[in-house]
Amino acid sequence: MPLELPKEKWTGKIGEVVIGALESEGGTRTSKVVLGGATSLPFLSFEGEYPNEPPIGMEIFDVVREDYPEVARKPFEDVIDDPGKWAKKCVEEHGADMICIRLIGTNPEEENRSVEDAEQTIRELKEAVGVPLLVYGSGDEEKDAKVLEMASNVLAGERCLLGLAEEDAYKSISVASMANDHGIVAFSNLDINLAKQMNILLTDFGVKLENIIMDPLQAGLGYGLEYSYSVIERIRLAAFMGDKILQVPILCGTARVWNAREAFKEDASLGEAGSRAILWEATTALSALMAGADALLMRHPDAVACVRESIKGLTGGGEQ
């Protein structure tokens, strides 16, 4: 008798969240992405459905500070001072499925850019690319309330994601997202209980579950990656076992990779530092996918290309 492959049977299903609205849907996006929908662990299509290939978004900034890593800066050095052109290059040359802009320049304790300045940036970004957009604030609760309200209005009808909603700062972002039917990114710091609590807080406040994306924090390789993997996997398993409040897609970013000392350390025995940093990001991103992430936010185009090729292989579309 042929050996029969053992299969897990799950009762739960990850809900689907749509990002981006086409012209026929009232928006101006030329593409949209669907996150979630799985009924099995990542890439195990023989156990259940895995209908939506994980999209890869790329991060850009309104302000690029001096400490921004040279390896990540170099592919975009000709456009890095113009968020619209930066985004366009991410999409047209490197195939980004989404663009996430971090409005760090609005932080009142740093550049303190005005809401009006941020609005101009968002309008330019909206015109520059047709892919779905994510807009993150600077982390200052009071300023973010104004900035994200503005972004919600400027991008009305576009079906974007706003973030980050945290335990002590989620109400103003929730209001901004609900005002124009945007999605919201719920951030929790490596804690499955807090991840669940964030979803409860948001739904109790009025946010629909189908508008929530979880970001449980993806640590970088060598800086807690194993713990991140464990937390993400536990969230996913709980969802498949029937915990409805956790049956929402997971978004993981690789930003913390770019603070890893080992990724940039000049040491001939470790290989060329620039290539190592790119592999550091790709390895972290792939770990997030294998743990259960439904979407990624990345920075370096070579790391993006590496991960995209890996996804093709894992879904049966790569080279044999």
- pLDDT, residue 320, reads 41
**Residues 263-269: what's their mean pLDDT?**
80
* CA separation for the pair 274, 280 (Å, rounded): 10
pLDDT digits (tens, 9 = 90+) for 143-177: 999 999 999 999 999 999 999 999 999 999 999 99
Structure tokens at 96: 């980004």
pLDDT digits (tens, 9 = 90+) for 5-53: 788 889 999 999 999 999 999 999 999 999 999 999 999 988 899 999 9
Measuring CA to CA, how many Å separate 224 from each of 69, 189, 221, 278, 282? 21, 12, 7, 18, 16
Task: For the chain, list the domains and their CATH numbers.
Answer: 27-314 (3.20.20.20)
Instruction: Look up the pTM and report it.
Output: 0.95
